A and B are shown apart, each in its own frame.
Chain A
Amino acid sequence: MRLTLCAAAALLALPASAEEFRWASTTDPQTMDPHAVSSTPVLGFLNNVYEGLVRRGKDMSIEPALATAWEPIDDGAGWRFTLREDVTFHDGADFTAEDVVFSYERASSEQSDVSSWFAPVSEVVAVDDYTVDIMTTSPQPLFPDSIANWMMMDSGWAAENGAERPARDEENAATLQANGTAAFRLEERQPGLSTVLVPFEGWWGEPEHNVTRAEFTPIQNSATAVAALLSGEVDMINPVPVQDAARLDEADGVEVIRGIEARVIMLGFAHDHDTLTGGADQGADNPFSDPLVRRAVAHAVNVPAILQTIMRGSAEPASQLVGHGMSGYSEANSERPEYDPERARELLAEAGYPDGFGFGFSCTNDRYLNDESVCQAVVSMLAQVGLEAQLNAMPVQNYWPELRAGNFDMYLLGWSPGTFDAEHPLRFLVHTAGERLGTWNFGGYSNDRIDELLPQIQSELDPEARQAMLDETARIIQEDAVYVPLYIQPLLWGVQENVSLTQRPDDFFILRWVTVE
């Protein structure tokens, strides 16, 4: 009797065939429009439905997708892409060069959230049905790497459905429907409830997966998501809360897949403020404009202890603004400043603050994994060398306006390089703040040498010369302690043991790599 009940319960829990795959994540992709929102939940999800000219493989390397080959034109005037010929969209229309031109116009329009990818592009020309030239204003050696998430939409479908422009300020057909070329097509979309994908029979590639139907559900509360995984109602959850990972390791039938994300968590400083804005010494001269003080902070924070206690051994220490494995990572600067409170005190004394000082430390409490706990730990570590940080933790929606308004002396920042290249943080975090460059350089750091090197790095075609320049910038940033990189945020996914999948550092979940046994 008992056995029958168990069997019945098992049948209830798994109603369909084993190849039906269900997964859950905290955030629902807010739109199905591939050009309206540039965020990981949206781009990651839509990578299963739409495809770009190129795509990233399991190791993040660029590989052919809708383009079979590409080559630079005339020493950096642009790039020529040769398109795949047997590709159809989910509605049956053929994929041709005209769709590429249309997708460029759509993705670079004013309503688009991804238009910055096309900042160096002057023109996109359809040479013939299967050849496209993308002309750039300056040599762009890494252009193919930067467009892996530029997804192709059918011009005919968009025109028929009134979706010629990204649906950002108003709803259009692309908000709830999708018509891509990828291995899965969108069967059902109920925002915030469930989104169903089924394999696309006419896909050009050779499927590696054995999924017959995949359903995504957002589960906002992480305790509920863990329960749903344990009870077998979902096959995969992302993320697993750091504090639950050990428990899931011990549970039967499920496992935790660990990796590191591309996101580096770091401390930033007010470089160009005249006075301190918070803490006990509010109004006094700003000590953080002195590199000695910033280096003292770097030596005072015990990163291994933070990783062991708060991140439970899941994260890795960071030495520079990108993690190893990203292109342009500087091997020459892979040593991070050691934990050495004595040295920190010496540096402070040398800078003229033998007794330390009090200041304001801004931090998010809902943006990065355990961000507030990390900040609290940093506060107590700094206190040991005489730095009295007054912690000001707030939700991320209040955080960015505060940082833009300059209400901080030191702050926590996480940065994930969108191009997976070391040039990306230079452009946004380190270059002198301006209209297009240095837009996240809240502290107002400015270094002429870095500003001079950045355009050269962007257009250098020789990999070795490029790396040499990147090494130089990494060294300057480390010596100057522009930022103090702390650690690389971990990726923790929970899966049923009968599921095999691939975890990529950009936190994209790629359905075509899933097999269910």
Chain B
Amino acid sequence: MLSFILRRVLQSVLVLLVTGLVAFAMFRYVGDPVDTMLGQERTVADIERLRENLGLNDPFFVQYWDFLGRAVQGDFGISYRQGRPVGEIIAERLPATLELAAVSGVFALGFGIVLGIFTAIRRRGTAANVIMTLSLIGVSLPTFLIGILLIYVFSVELGWLPSYGRGEVTWVSGWPTGFLTSSGLSALILPAITLGLYQMTLIMRLVRSEMLEVLRTDYIRFARARGLRDRTVHFRHALKNTLVPVITVTGLQLGSIIAFAIITETVFQWPGVGLLFINAIQFVDIPVMAAYLMLISVMFVGINLVVDLLYVAIDPRLRAEGKAA
């Protein structure tokens, strides 16, 4: 078991290092930060001096090595755009993204499971068919469009919900939260739906097909033969057995909710790390881009590691294989 964990951790570190290397090799194609950092009255000498100061004349692997050297000491450099420490900026922005991801995750999971069960049980009903058709639209419309549509309906036409921002935040032990004010809560609704819609339809379709599968098995048939009530059969016996794959998928999707919040955050001007990243790309703010990409890859690698370890804990066969190797 220990050797398995060690091996996994080592692999994860390797993945991280490679991600960073690829990221740094790509930065030169994003553009040159120097022009946006200097005003129009800059001289050629100013450009050269700044390039030298920032280390932009070094090959990318040297830049990467410098970044790693400082990053292991917890120093992610100074943002080119804001002139402030990157670690501080990301720490300011992360709570907004995490809260949005948590709410849209709960939304996706809750509605996904309920609608999945419903469409499986009432397979031939009109309502179920309507939901299935609508879910196709949900999957195929781009996030950007869904966000703008929701804004026009609920903010401009109806005036019920705010169109941008995070509302009023309160500080709870160093964490700015939008959960405690009414403006903060109402600001969460539209972005959370926009971000969670795709995941919701995914979970719904997964629950539905799993449920249909389970409903055909012998033990369900016997349960019915025993004269158990429908509700007991569906929720006590069938649902439990559909949830195992759902939990796995949800775990993996959590990472993508955080990583793909970029578009939702841009549409709703949600002050999270995704919006920060978009700004960083436009400005070629290399320290911020590097730190964000590393953060996201640490998160993905971490989630995968936990999922792998959970499998081992659940499935003894994997442990045996680990020994054999």
**Interface residues in chain A, defined as those with a beta carbon under 8 Å from any beta carbon in chain B:** 9-10, 13, 24, 30-31, 33, 36-39, 113-114, 116-117, 167-171, 175-176, 190-194, 217-221, 223-225, 227-228, 230-233, 366, 395-401, 416, 418, 428, 435-436, 439-440
Contacts and interface: CB of A to CB of B under 8 A. Distances in A.
Contacts of B37: 37, 113, 168
Nearest to A37: B39
Contacts of A400: 32, 35
B279 interface: yes
Nearest to B47: A404
B323 interface: no
Interface in B277-299: 278-279, 282-284
Contact of A231 (B92, B159, B283): B159
A224 B31 contact: no
A13 B147 CA distance: 20
A324 B29 CA distance: 39
Nearest to B269: A219
A220 B151 contact: no
Contacts of B82: 30-31, 175, 191-192
Contacts of A31: 82-83
A113 B40 CA distance: 10
A221 B78 contact: no
A33 B36 CA distance: 16
A401 B268 contact: no
B269 A221 contact: yes
A400 B40 CA distance: 11
B43 A439 contact: yes
B40 A418 contact: yes
B188 interface: no
A231 B155 contact: yes
Contact of A428 (B40, B93, B166, B271): B40
A217 B41 contact: no
A54 B30 CA distance: 40
Nearest to B162: A233
B121 interface: no
A117 B39 CA distance: 11
A301 B82 CA distance: 41
Contact of B275 (A9, A36, A169, A220): A220
Nearest to B278: A220
Given A192-B275, A231-B159, A395-B31, 13 more contacts: A36-B83, A170-B83, A193-B271, A194-B165, A217-B164, A219-B164, A221-B269, A231-B162, A397-B31, A400-B32, A435-B43, A439-B43, A439-B44
B128 interface: no
Contacts of B32: 397-398, 400-401
B53 interface: yes
Contacts of A192: 82, 93, 271, 275-276, 279
B192 to A, nearest CB: 16
A42 B75 CA distance: 27
A142 to B, nearest CB: 15
A217 B269 contact: yes
Instruction: Please classify the interface of chain A as helix (H, G, I), strand (E, B), loop, or mixed, using the class held by over half of its residues.
Output: loop
Contacts of A230: 156
A431 to B, nearest CB: 13
Given A218-B269, A224-B151, A401 B35 contact: yes
Contacts of A38: 38-41
B32 to A, nearest CB: 4
With a 10 A CB-CB cut-off, give which of B35, B148, B163 has the most chain A CB atoms.
B163
B160 interface: yes
B160 to A, nearest CB: 7
Contacts of A416: 40
Interface in B26-64: 29-33, 35-45, 53
Going nearest first, the 7 A-B pairs with the smallest beta carbon separation are A397-B31, A38-B39, A116-B41, A400-B35, A401-B32, A398-B31, A231-B155
Nearest to A171: B84
Contacts of A225: 164
Contacts of B119: none
Contacts of A435: 43-45
Interface string B245-264: 00000000000000000000
Contacts of B269: 217-221, 224
B244 to A, nearest CB: 40
Nearest to B78: A170
Contact of A223 (B39, B41, B148): B148
B163 A224 contact: yes
A230 B163 CA distance: 10
With a 10 A CB-CB cut-off, give which of A218, A221, A223 has the most chain B CB atoms.
A221
Interface string B5-30: 00000000000000000000000011
Nearest to B268: A224
Interface string B155-198: 11001101111100000000000000000000000000000000
A418 B40 CA distance: 8
Nearest to A403: B35
Contacts of B30: 397-398
19 contacts: A116-B43, A167-B83, A168-B37, A171-B84, A175-B82, A175-B84, A176-B84, A217-B164, A217-B269, A223-B151, A224-B151, A225-B164, A227-B152, A227-B155, A233-B164, A395-B282, A400-B35, A401-B32, A435-B44
